[in-house]
Structures are given as C-alpha cells and as structure tokens.
Amino acid sequence: MLLGTQRINEAGHLCVGGCDCVDLAERFGTPLYVIDEALLRENCRTYKRAFGERLDSVEICYAGKALLCTAICRIMEQENLGLDVASAGELYTALKAAFPPSRIKLHGNFKSDLEIEMALDAGVGRLVIDSLSEIGRVNETAGRLGKRADVLIRVTPGIRVHTHHYVATGHVDSKFGLSLASSMAEEAVAQAMAAPNLVLQGFHCHIGSQIFGLESFARAAELMTSFMADMHRKHGLVSHELDMGGGLGIAYQDEDAPPTIKELSNVICSTLVKCLADHDLPMPKLILEPGRSIVGTPGLTLYRVGPVKEIPGVRTYVTVDGGLSDNPRPALYDAQYEATVANKAAQARSTVVRVAGKHCETDTLIPEIALQPVVEGDILAIFCTGAYNYAMASNYNRFPRPAMVLVHDGQAEVIVERESLEDLVRQDRIPPRLAK
Ligand code: LLP
C-alpha cells in the first residue's frame, strides 16, 4: 500500500512528502503522526470538483472530529471548505485558527448553553438542531444576544447501513437527530418555524461512517427529499439547504474497495436531481460533511519497534512504543490496518507477526500481518491513521500524546507538539493535607 506521495527511496526507506520516515522518526521521536499535505489537499479538491461538476450550489464542510488542530483548520480554510465542529473545543480550535465563523457549522446531540452561546456569539454559519429541547434553548439564547440563528434540523432517516454498529447513526434507534418515523422531525419543523429567533434553512442527515454501500446514500437522499416535499406541502417550508453528512469509507487494507468520491457524488447528485424533480421542488444547496475520506489516507503513524517475542508454536509479537493511547480503533471497532517496516520497505515480507502496543492491556494494533524481517529498533509505519487516531487519543498509562508533523516537498513541520511528562501533571493538584 503506497498512497499519495509515499515512495520507497534508494536507501529502501519509506518516504512521504519527500521526507524519509526513518529521518522523521529520528528527528521528531516516536510515536509520530505524519500528515501528507499534498494528499490532504488533493482529497479536498476531489470532493469540491466531484460535486461542483454536478450541481451549482455545493458546500464541502470538513468534519473536524476526524482530525482537528489549528494547522488543519488553516488548510481547510485555504482549500475553501467549510468546517463542521461538534464541541466547544473544536469550535475554539477553529476560531483560534481564524477560520471564518460563517463557514462553521455546530453539531452535537447535547449542546451545552456555553456551546450555543459561544457559537452564536462567534457568528457561526449554522447550528444543527438535534433535539426538540434544543430549539427552545437556541431560540432563547439568540433572542438574548439579539441575533437570529440559522439552523438545520438533523433528521434520522431510519436506515440501516453496513458498517460497524458503533458508527451507524441513521437508524431509528439512535441517540442522534429527530426521527422521521416517530414524526419528531415534523414536530421540530413546526417548532423551529414558530420560533421567532430561528431561521430554518433546511435539513441534515448523517447515516454512519466507513460506509462502502452507495445504495445507503441513495436511500437517504430519497427519504430526505420526500420529507422536504412533505414539509413544503404541510408547512409551506422551502428548504434552502440539504446536508447529506459524511460517511464515505476508505481502504484500510489492500483488499478494501470503497467507492470513489466521484461515485459518491454521482449517486447522491443523480438521486437528488431525480427525486426533487419528482416532487417538483427546487434544488437546495447541497452540503457534505466528509471527515475520514479527506484526512484518513493522508495520515500514517511511525513507531519504534521494541521487544520482538517469538512464542514457539504460537506466534511472534512485535511490540511498538505506542498503542491503545494513540490508536484506540482496533480495540474499539476491530479496525484493521496495513503497515510496513519503514527502514526495510523494499525488502520481501517474509515473516507473519502480531503488532502490539506497550500499554498494560492486550492492545493489539494489527492481529496478523506479513512484514519484512523485523527487529528491535526498526521503525514501523502504520498506514491510514489520519482519521480518528489523534482525535481519539488518550493519556492512558500516562503516555504523553504523540507529536504530529505535516510533510510537504521534503519539508516536515510540527503542527502538534509532543506532550511532555510535565504536561501530564499540569492539571494535577495535591490538597495541602496530602502535601509532603
Ligand atoms: N457528520 C456528522 C454529523 C458525523 O457525526 C460524522 C462522524 C461525520 C460527519 C463525518 O463522518 P466520516 O466522513 O468521517 O465518516 N470514531 C469512529 C467514527 C465516528 C464517526 C462519528 N461521526 C471511527 O473511528 O471509526
């Protein structure tokens, strides 16, 4: 698996963005998140092109939950994407990076008063209403601040998609959104339209993540347009915007064959054009919220290999200097990854091993993989770790979170500093009675 600017150089080392991964590991330490800027930008542009070619009014809003830090916000701004945030922390990061508030959308199934106020105060473009009680709270806060809030209503279309059940969100039994089936979505429309400080711009749905089946997106588009028609008929609502969420899957393993962004665009756009025509409705602005399919493939993680234990007749364990804390996805979702020994990338893969982390847990990163002959001190690169790795990292076992570097044309720049041991105790307090 070689993606984006990844190459194998004359020394037989894995390179990315023109940087030798072995040098990166030496220079910045391990574990290290590495982001290929060229591939990241290419993914943004592919989305804009694929949807822009089909429809006049499209906005691609990067879902920041997949990976957010201030430098990533800067890149998204330069690429002219919008930004989806789902917490005060994500919003704060975007504002710190001077991301234009009007291109930010606030999500969340339980937005705190602080989050609502912060968003309205900053002038974020859209708030996505996720519950009936939120309508009153947003309306009241907007009134207090003397503002009108542009909102979308998150609708749960009620479809099951083929993905890990932890990341399926579009079915009826979901904590997210307001379901079509229970008519809560319609109730939300009536309430939002009656709220003096809200402007209902349209609807949102997100059916899940790491989805390969395009038919699920088509079905969601059908259900959403028929709901829009219904709301037009019953409430005279003209939906100016339709947000179809994110969710496109990526190839974590060589044998994975996800649809392309272009194929996603073809399915969503042609379904919308047809259904809207059937219902005699104008085309709203189409919004997409991709996370993983923008930032997943441009990321890789470099680890230093520790003890290699061969258990006779059982298997060989290759330990690396990270694990559950920098990538919880194998433990949470049985996520599968490809890897290579970065300093032996040109050699044959002659040994089958299990890659495990260094936590006090069975933190398997890759249950079974054919690798080059691997010994202590080698550098292991795990591919496609850009999405939901750093974003979901923890300090378990009081491991400092790794640094992140952006690589481009032979340059590597730190975009997130490695946490220090001091950082780990920074928030700790010793009550005087326990002091030494
Ligand atoms: N929009 C909304 C409202 C979302 O909840 C999500 C993801 C996205 C967009 C972006 O979805 P994507 O294009 O990245 O699939 N931690 C899990 C994934 C959770 C996804 C949560 N929502 C994982 O590591 O697989």
The architecture in CATH of the region 37-294 reads Alpha-Beta Barrel (3.20)
What would the pLDDT profile of 74-130 be if each residue is shown by its tens digit?
999 999 999 999 999 999 999 999 999 999 999 999 999 999 999 999 999 999 999
* pLDDT at 163 > cutoff 80: no
**Does any ligand 1 atom lie closer than 6 A to the CB of residue 333?**
yes
Query: Pairing state of beta strands 403-408 and 32-36?
Result: parallel
The DSSP secondary structure of 283-326, one letter per residue, reads PPEEEE--SHHHHSTTEEEEEEEEEEEEETTTEEEEEES--TTT
Whether the CB-CB separation of 412 and 54 falls below 8 Å is answered with: no
Residue 170: what pLDDT? Answer: 66
Give the pLDDT confidence of 115-142 residue by residue, as tens digits.
999 999 999 999 999 999 999 999 999 9
Q: Which of 209, 268, 390 to mutate to test the pocket of ligand 1 (most atoms within 8 A of CB)?
A: 209
CATH topology of domain 7-30+298-425: Lyase, Ornithine Decarboxylase; Chain A, domain 1 (2.40.37)
Kindly give the number of the ligand 1 atom that is closest to the alpha carbon of 249.
Answer: 15
Q: Locate the domains of the chain by residue range.
A: 7-30+298-425, 37-294
The mean of the pLDDT values for the chain is: 97
Over the stretch 355-397, which tens digit does the pLDDT of each residue have? 999 999 999 999 999 999 999 999 999 999 999 999 999 999 9
Maximum alpha-carbon separation in the chain: 76
Q: Is the CB of 107 under 6 A from ligand 1?
A: yes
Is ligand 1 within 6 A of the CB of residue 337?
no
> What pLDDT was estimated at residue 1?
82
Same fold, 7-30+298-425 and 37-294: no
pLDDT of the residue at 172 = 76
Give the CA angle between residues 42, 297, 212 to the nearest 5°.
100
> Annotated catalytic, 360?
yes
**Residues recorded for the chain:** 436
pLDDT > 80? residue 429? yes
Q: Is the CB of 388 under 6 A from ligand 1?
A: yes
Closest among 250, 174, 251 to 205, alpha carbons compared: 174
Atom of ligand 1 nearest to the CA of 211: 15
For residue 173, the model assigns a pLDDT of 82
